[in-house]
Structure 1
């Protein structure tokens, strides 16, 4: 296979980056940044802690995003100059340096391009992630806890703030369930493809005969509710229980009944929050989580209704999505995109961007095909 001419590759990357700049609307980003800076300078802003945190998070994200695009544009200009210098000097080392920088730029621009594919109604919102242990007993509970750590490490790698709202610990090891928020713009659009069942195959550390065990954990990702969302809840349709927060092995976290569990009777949805010391704060957070889950349920019902009218199914990709095999060989493979990695330890330490980027492209392709089919009808 012939090597790609650097000049052609530079033109290709320049075209891709120009398209990204147009989609992201850099002038609009600059105006938003100026507005958010003005808001953040207002001393009255911090009278509303929740709004203040949202403003500062949004500002930090936009500044980083703008800096990322501008930095890539500058590097692209610089590498073109580097190639010119290498040609003038007939310097192999400079040419090698330019080739390495061009390869790195290609990868980073491709990663940024994925961001432009997130155009869904709720994609730009923060995300609520819920993980539940499924079949597999103690191993499944341990697997659910490993998944929680994997996503928290992924968020940490990207500098995304997270907040754990509730964790229900299993008796022997691991967790029964957990709910946490990823508080970054586009967190929902980024993570929504992770929704589904994750399967682990390994030698069980809890089996004294050292047998291979298959465990399952379910992941649910929903967008955070905003004030503009039309989600009304009848208090008469709720059962609210208070209880004492507990840690691993049933250990008490505090001495008051501050944890709150809310059951939405019509749907059977149950949410809990125990991260705050105040019962009122925990109730408010649990209500936010419930509204987010009801919003997602409403969105799914509307999508299923439209799809049923077209004779389609919307549930085909929301089941088992990824296998993590630690024995007899080591591989992590996505069943939808075919992306695989031979280093499960790195994946479980939060290196999942390759999987996420591929599924964003996969989901966008499916949506584009559905839109094209609708247009034909």
Structure 2
């Protein structure tokens, strides 16, 4: 075997071994066994919420074990393929082995990124809120484009999502939207998307065809679990009910079932209108409010730690990515320098490269 190829395969094997050690495969198998036993209980579905959590965790952990096992098998197979190609002096087989080695490097790197998600809440599901900012109707349209981008990303990975609230803008797009990505590590993965996103394009809403710059903000918080203690005093809440509505003000039902909660001490406002009853919408809105209060508490604790460290603050939450559609085509992350020349693909949910670069950047402490 070519010495360079042999050295590269050894390097890939060592990287994968590090990943396997961090993932602790023995513990992973034990966790799967415990979850399988719980999933087999006849009374599992007496508590539907817990049952969904158990089956989701089981499916995720089984998938992780299959993924790392599959990579190890592919690494063994590609070494054999190189040997066969060399013995037979088969250029086509050697080219096939080269292509598989390149793909293996990409897939092992992607799995390695997952092992970097070790923050307190990184394993959680995610609540994502998108808001239009400066730029008028173009900003509202951009906010809707970003919402579609994240929902398409989730769809590509077969992650379930639930949209809790969408506030439509008058002419086009959305003022804001909140949705949940129901997958393990969704928070750790998507948290690097938090900040201000910038779009540069010829405005489809400008009859003079001028170039327009617009902005939309992305907020990502972890979903609250039963172990979290977020006490909300009813006296601190203002509850407003109103009629759910869709694009253009079309009524989607004829009762005042939508709920808006205002947490008076913090000024945090959340809404929910996706359920049929006012009671269900209030319960969903409370869950979103608890998540936002938990994240506020986490940020305050982090700010204290940063103050002790003498951290003068960072650009986190400021402008973090540009999507340029005119005069050239490019999407560029301003923190990691990761860029792609195909905005259409990115806006259709192909954002894994940005997510991985963001996770590595955050881990390096930039």
TM-score for both structures, normalised by structure 2: 0.98
In 2, the alpha carbon distance for the partners of 1:261 and 1:41 equals 40
Work out whether residues 144 and 177 of structure 1, in 8 Å CA contact, stay in contact via their aligned partners in 2: yes
Work out whether residues 303 and 314 of structure 1, in 8 Å CA contact, stay in contact via their aligned partners in 2: no
In 1, the alpha carbon distance for the partners of 2:329 and 2:360 equals 26
Matched with 2:323 is: 324
- 1:24-60 C-alpha deviation (Å, 9 max, x unpaired): 1112111111222222222322122211111111111
In 1, the alpha carbon distance for the partners of 2:343 and 2:151 equals 16
Larger mean Cα displacement after TM superposition, 192-201 or 37-46: 37-46
Secondary structure, counterpart of 1:94 in structure 2: helix
Deviation at 1:309, TM superposition (A): 2.1
Matching of residue 41 in structure 1 with residue 40 in structure 2? yes
Matched with 1:371 is: none
In 2, the alpha carbon distance for the partners of 1:320 and 1:4 equals 45
Deviation at 1:283, TM superposition (A): 0.8
Work out whether residues 72 and 105 of structure 1, in 8 Å CA contact, stay in contact via their aligned partners in 2: yes
Matches within 5 A, 1:243-258: 243-258=242-257
In 1, the alpha carbon distance for the partners of 2:197 and 2:275 equals 30
In 2, the alpha carbon distance for the partners of 1:301 and 1:228 equals 20
Secondary structure, counterpart of 1:119 in structure 2: coil
Deviation at 1:316, TM superposition (A): 2.1
Q: List, as ranges, runs of 4+ consecutive aligned residues in structure 1 with deviation greater than 3 Å.
A: none
Matched with 1:61 is: 60
Matched with 1:225 is: 224
- CA spacing shift, 1:47–1:314, aligned 2, 3 Å: farther
- 1:316-360 C-alpha deviation (Å, 9 max, x unpaired): 221100000101111101000001110000000000111110000
Work out whether residues 323 and 332 of structure 1, in 8 Å CA contact, stay in contact via their aligned partners in 2: yes
In 2, the alpha carbon distance for the partners of 1:79 and 1:149 equals 38
Deviation at 1:135, TM superposition (A): 0.7
Unaligned runs of 5+ in 1: 368-377
Secondary structure, counterpart of 2:321 in structure 1: strand
Matched with 2:186 is: 187
In 1, the alpha carbon distance for the partners of 2:320 and 2:29 equals 38
- CA spacing shift, 1:315–1:281, aligned 2, 3 Å: farther
In 2, the alpha carbon distance for the partners of 1:93 and 1:19 equals 32
Matched with 1:279 is: 278
- CA spacing shift, 1:4–1:85, aligned 2, 3 Å: closer
Matches within 5 A, 1:69-80: 69-80=68-79
TM-score for both structures, normalised by structure 1: 0.95
Deviation at 1:231, TM superposition (A): 1.1
- 1:237-257 C-alpha deviation (Å, 9 max, x unpaired): 000111111000111111111
Larger mean Cα displacement after TM superposition, 59-68 or 342-351: 59-68
Work out whether residues 188 and 223 of structure 1, in 8 Å CA contact, stay in contact via their aligned partners in 2: yes
Matching of residue 147 in structure 1 with residue 146 in structure 2? yes
Deviation at 1:315, TM superposition (A): 4.2
Deviation at 1:4, TM superposition (A): 7.7
User: How many aligned residue pairs are there?
Assistant: 365
Work out whether residues 196 and 219 of structure 1, in 8 Å CA contact, stay in contact via their aligned partners in 2: yes
Secondary structure, counterpart of 2:43 in structure 1: helix
In 1, the alpha carbon distance for the partners of 2:279 and 2:314 equals 37
Deviation at 1:119, TM superposition (A): 0.6
In 1, the alpha carbon distance for the partners of 2:326 and 2:113 equals 33
Matched with 1:370 is: none
Matched with 2:4 is: 5
Matches within 5 A, 1:38-117: 38-117=37-116
Matched with 1:374 is: none
- 1:287-329 C-alpha deviation (Å, 9 max, x unpaired): 1111111111111111111111222134422110000010111
Unaligned runs of 5+ in 2: none
Work out whether residues 304 and 313 of structure 1, in 8 Å CA contact, stay in contact via their aligned partners in 2: no
In 2, the alpha carbon distance for the partners of 1:69 and 1:344 equals 31
In 1, the alpha carbon distance for the partners of 2:3 and 2:258 equals 60
Secondary structure, counterpart of 1:123 in structure 2: coil
Work out whether residues 317 and 336 of structure 1, in 8 Å CA contact, stay in contact via their aligned partners in 2: no
Matched with 1:372 is: none
